[in-house]
Structure 1
C-alpha cells in the first residue's frame, strides 16, 4: 500500500512547446504536470481529469485562446472547475492584458520570463487559497443543510426567501413560497412510531427534491414540514404545482408491514404580487398560516390567497379513479353525487353509441330530486 502524498497536479496550456518545457522544468519535483497546446484541448482535459488543482494558461493560442478558456472555466456548471485557480501568462508586460485577465476572473498574472522561485511561490499560494476556500465552503454547506437529508435548513431558507424578495422588488419580478406539512402527524407517530414517520418524511423530501427546479430552494421548516422558495413563479402556477403534489401523495402506495399507510399533505401558498407584500418574513408567515388553515379544514388541501383557495379542491373523475386505484375510497365517498353528475353526459353517449340500455334518465331524475335547487339552477 502506497501512503505517499501525491503532489498537486497543474495543467499548462500554451501553444509553444518551448514555453511548456520551460514551465515544466520550473515545476519539476514540486508539482505533477499535464500539458496541452490550445485552449480547446485544455478545456477537454479539465472536464475529464478531476485531479487538476490549478491552471497556467497562455493568452494567445489557436482554436481557443486564454481568455476563452478562462471564460469557460469561470462559467462552468461544474463547481470544481469553476473554482480552479488560473494563472495567465503572456510574453509581454502588458497592463491592458493584465486588467482584462483579472476582470475575466484570472487568479494571478505573470510574465513568461518569471523565475522559478516566484512562479512556485505564486502557484503554491493560489492552491493553498483554493483549498482553504473549498474547506470553508464545506463548513458553510454543513451549516446550510440538514446532515441527515441534505436539504436546506430553516435559517438558510429564510435567507433565500429574503434574497428572492429583494431581487423581485428591484426587478419587478415574482416570488412564490409553499409551506407543506403532513396531516395527522401525531396520529401517524402514535400508530407507526417516530422512526417510521421520520423515514416517511425523509422519503417525501427526496420526492420533493426531484420535482422542483434548479433555481428553487427546498428545505425543512418545522416538524414534518417543508418550505419551497420559488423565484420567478406566479402564484397560480405555484398553486397548480401544489395541487399536483398533493394528489401525488394521496395516491401514493405506501405500506408498513403489509398495511397501507394513508398519507396526505396540506399546503399553503403565498406570492409577493398576489399578497401585495415585499417582506419575505410576512410571506413565510402567510404560507404557514394557510397550511394550518388547510389542516384545520380537514387536511389534504391547498390554500392560497384567492377566495377559491379556501374551497375544497374539486373531485375530478381522473382524481377519483386514481384515489380508488390507491384504495382511498373514503376520500371519494363525499363527492359521489358530484361525480355522478360529471359522468352523466358520458353515459348518455355510451348508451347511444354502444346501444346500451342503461337507465340514465332515471339516474338523472333521482340526482335532481335529491338536490332540487341544483336542477333549478
Structure 2
C-alpha cells in the first residue's frame, strides 16, 4: 500500500467518487472536471482503502447501493475512524430517489449532504466548492480559538468520562433530590459544525473547540453540580436543587453561548449546540425514575436536536414537536437570554452569587432569599 505524502498533494481540490456504475461515475466526472481533481472507486471497500492512503482527498461522493461495502457501511467506517482527517471528511450521498426514509437514514449515518443523480452541473459544483472549503474553514475556526486556549492554559481539558462514572455521581445526587423533595436535572449538550447550505448532518468540531467548550462549562456550573465529557463532542451536566424554569434557562444560555462562540467572520459556517433535558419535573417526583433513564432521555433529545440542526433546548415539549414535524425555532426575542422572562434562581444559586460577590444579581431576589433562609434563622435564634 503506497501512502501519498504532502508533496503529492494536487493543485485542485481532490474528490473521491465511489459508485459501482461506470456511467454514473463518468457523469459526475463530466460535471466536475476542470475545477476538481478526482479519484474513482468501484465499491465502498475500495473507497475506504483509497481514503487510507490518500490524505489529499477533500470530499467523498458515494452511492448508497454498492457491492462489498455499501454507502451506509462506508459512512459508518468513516465516522468511526480513529484517524481524524477521515472521521471529519465531508461525505456527499448520491441517491436515485427522494424518499424521506432513505435520506433520513443517510443523515443519521453521518452524511454531510445529499444530492440526487439528476443534479445539474452548476448546483453540484457550488455544493462541492462549499464542501472542499469546509476543512479549511474548520482549520480557520481552530486557529481563531488559539488565543482562548492560551488564556485558559491552566484549565485542563475535560477527559472523556465513562457513562458508568457519570451515572454513579448522578445516582447519588438523585437520591439526595428525592430525600429533600427537590428537582433533579440531567443536561446533555451535543455540539456540531454546520454549513447552512448543506442538508446533511453536522460535522465534529476541531479538538481545540471541544476543549474550549469544556473549559467554559467547567467555569459555568456551580460547585455542587457535575460536568463531564461523555463522547467526542458531547457533554453531560448533572444538577440538583434547581427548579425547572431555571434549568431550562441555564440550558438555553449554555447552547446560545456555545453557538455564539463562532469566530469565523462572514461565513455560513456555524456551531450547533443542542441541549437535551431529562428532569424529574416531567415525572412529578416519581421515585421509580432512575438516573440512567433521565440520562438516556437527555441524550436522545440532544441527538434529535442535532439531527434537526436545533441550537437550543430540547425538552419534553420540543421533542413532541420534532416528532410531529410541528417544531418551530424560538423567535429571537423569545430565545435570547436578555429578553427572556427571568426565572427565579434557587437558593443554592443565590448563595453562590453572594459568595462570588455578585450583589447586583442577588438584590432582585432578596425577598425570595429571606423567605428561604427564615427557617434557618429561626432555628439559630431558638438554639441561642
Asked whether the two chains share a fold, i.e. TM above 0.5, the reply is: no
Normalised-by-shorter TM-score class: 0.3 to 0.5
Compute the TM-score of the two structures, normalised by the length of structure 2: 0.39
Considering only CA atoms, is the larger Rg found in Structure 1 or Structure 2?
A: 1
